[in-house]
A and B are shown apart, each in its own frame.
Chain A
């Protein structure tokens, strides 16, 4: 990769637990990624729109409220697909049950990071995944708001 990895990060839904995403965002920034941190209470539409607008290689979500990530990830992947942006890799971290983690990987989430995952492992996972995927250019935004 000659250009910086661009990752849009945000917290979906009704979850105010910011500490996780804050430290991971810093970890990615320190590893040389371009981090676009959207903050809290984002919808799938808002996150995907930002990813498209920012030519992001990846999206990082954090869910620490106990809510299930499955529905949100499914919606996010669907919106990316609609916009022709399947090359954008989706990563999610937080309180995730083992069976949910399995479902997430099955549906195409590129990485699931459970509590205690070392930062270096997340950085490597994002780098490896992004290198695998060719950037297909700017996706036309068909995201409805």
Chain B
């Protein structure tokens, strides 16, 4: 029997190994670095043993997939039951061009769509405004009105193809357009399934789009929660966004912590509208970026699932598994992709996709190798789907649930992620909560500091980016890159001018007035916005009415 003061056998053996075999090897050849850390700054041991996880309790810390604490997976059978959704962003050029690609990709295996509208339009500018100039159609499909949204979604089975609307500051308008399309097709809105991103909190901190004031943005957000809760039981009213947080420079740990914090803020705000946790939380969806730190990203999402389940149980007092489960979408991190040697990006995206799958993702967008050049070319975009199909069907990683569980390293890292994220959540609470932190730019500063650190590591050669600060080639073969045809702008202008001339002016004016009145009152905005979409008010026109009432958020110039 081992006495209390004797070291356990493993530690003994490890000590012996360190003093003999390891010592000899290091004397011959020192390790590559004095210290190894991951992107979140956590020190990495050279090896993990059962001693690192001896405090873990399998049942309460890991459990089984599809039930509390969900560490091992969102659903009970995971990919043995159903492969994750191949859900790609498609948005460029005229809506018929984007529609053609979506249709083609559905035939090629696409099961989900992220609808992305031209950024100018999202920002409150119709295609013929001077500020837009020639910068239209390069990012997002040009769909200023219901007419274009119909073209974009033409011929798509909205029951089968899961649609996620990428709008956040203009979420209520994106949702309005989608509902208007469905109504035209005779689809009852209580049958509509899909998602709208609708995460304004994220937008204040991370790579922001122009936003209404905090008050206005939160009002629109909550109106969507309320409306969908009552009328659209299959709809996800929010996609809580960590991706943009990560892309603006946050570490994986920060992404996790800030995402969870924002999610709790939405639950708290919803409660003020009389919406309970068990009404709202089951409809939450989440959105992570997965970057290149392979095991760290896996630990992050396992930690996320467990933490969300515990937050629902402990902070909100619900034992409802539907509230506790975390379904999430992943996009591979665009910021890791390089302009130099673009085919290297195929490798990066593949590894990131694999990392996402081993973590247990519900739906996945894989970036394209031409990310640093333009919106994806058709060739590059198709490869993103093939990447997912090859992982799903050729590797066997989908045949066993949560295959990395039990790894001393992965479990240890998962626990450390949870501790680190909890420390952030406690700090955010101490600072007065999420809305206070937004006001005081806490998140913005944390993210900027992380971005600076990462860049310095690259500049000093401490972090290698293959092809950029190491292994450069001087001559590069050009790749085909998407470039919007200048003709697109001319057509977009012609269409918007025709729309203005032919729509029912009376109906249009009244509809916009109703949006204004609804915005000034406590009436839910969604019906008025749907009506405005049906009256062929444009995205920009509706947005500008909301801006009139609520004003715009002033982003701080922080770096």
User: Which A residues have a C-beta under 8 Å from some C-beta of B?
Assistant: 13-19, 21-23, 25-27, 35, 37-41, 43, 65-68, 71, 95, 97-98, 114-116, 118-120
Contact = CB atoms under 8 A, between A and B. Distances in A.
B208 A16 contact: yes
Contact of A22 (B119, B335, B467, B559): B559
B139 interface: yes
B170 to A, nearest CB: 13
A60 to B, nearest CB: 12
A14 B210 CA distance: 8
Contacts of A120: 459
Contacts of A40: 208, 555, 557
B209 A16 contact: yes
Interface residues of B, number: 43
B248 interface: yes
Contact of A23 (B373, B374, B452, B468): B452
A15 B481 CA distance: 21
Given A39-B557, A120-B459, A65 B139 contact: yes
A140 B375 CA distance: 41
B13 interface: no
B469 interface: yes
Given A40-B555, A97-B481, A118-B469, A71 B133 contact: yes
B338 A68 contact: no
A71 B455 contact: no
A22 B452 contact: yes
B350 to A, nearest CB: 21
Contact of B249 (A22, A27, A35): A22
Interface in B432-486: 448, 451-452, 454-455, 459, 465, 467-469, 478, 481, 483
A115 B559 contact: no
Interface centre among B452, B478, B557, by most A CB within 10 Å?
Answer: B557
B557 A14 contact: no
A25 B375 CA distance: 26
A6 to B, nearest CB: 16
10 contacts: A14-B210, A18-B248, A22-B249, A22-B448, A26-B452, A27-B459, A35-B559, A38-B557, A115-B339, A116-B338
A36 B213 CA distance: 25
Contacts of B133: 71
A13 B452 contact: no
Contacts of B555: 39-41
Contacts of B448: 22
A97 B373 contact: yes
A37 B209 CA distance: 18
Contact of B207 (A17, A37, A66, A97): A17
B372 interface: yes
Contacts of A21: 559
B340 interface: yes
B547 interface: no
Interface in B476-500: 478, 481, 483
Contacts of B125: 14
Contacts, number: 100
A50 to B, nearest CB: 11
A74 B6 CA distance: 76
A18 B208 contact: yes
B131 interface: yes
B339 A116 contact: yes
B262 to A, nearest CB: 17
A37 B138 CA distance: 27
B135 A71 contact: yes
A20 to B, nearest CB: 9
B120 interface: yes
A14 B459 contact: no
Contacts of B247: 19
B338 A13 contact: no
A67 B135 CA distance: 5
Nearest to A38: B557
B288 to A, nearest CB: 17
B416 interface: no
Nearest to B244: A16
B139 A66 contact: yes
Contacts of B207: 16-19
B424 interface: no
B202 to A, nearest CB: 12
Given A68-B135, A118-B459, A19 B465 contact: no
A126 to B, nearest CB: 15
Contacts of A114: 339
Given A14-B125, A16-B207, A115-B340, 16 more contacts: A13-B131, A14-B131, A18-B207, A22-B249, A23-B559, A27-B459, A35-B559, A37-B557, A38-B557, A39-B557, A66-B138, A67-B135, A95-B373, A97-B374, A118-B469, A119-B459
A39 B209 contact: no
A48 B501 CA distance: 37
A132 to B, nearest CB: 25
Q: Which 5 A-B pairs have the closest CB atoms?
A: A39-B557, A67-B135, A23-B455, A22-B559, A116-B468
A18 to B, nearest CB: 6
A23 B451 contact: yes
Contacts of B335: 19
Contacts of A18: 207-208, 248, 559
